[in-house]
Amino acid sequence: MTDVENITKAIKENTKMVWIETPTNPTMKLIDIDEAVKQTKKINPKIKVVVDNTFASPYLQSPLLLGADISYNSCSKYIGGHSDLIAGSLVYNCDEFHKEVYMAAKSLGANPSPFDCYLVLRGLKTLE
Q: Which tens digits make up the pLDDT trace of 1-55? A: 999 999 999 999 999 999 999 999 999 999 999 999 999 999 999 999 999 999 9
Write down the pLDDT at residue 28. 94
pTM for this one?
0.89
Amino acid identity, residue 3? D
Measured between alpha carbons, how far is 96 from 128 in angstroms, rounded to an integer?
32
Measured between alpha carbons, how far is 101 from 97 in angstroms, rounded to an integer?
6
Q: In what order do the strands lie in the sheet with 48-52?
A: 17-21, 48-52, 70-74, 88-92
Measured between alpha carbons, how far is 72 from 60 in angstroms, rounded to an integer?
14
Model confidence at 101, in pLDDT bands (50, 70, 90)? confident
Domains present along the chain, CATH in parentheses: 4-124 (3.40.640.10)
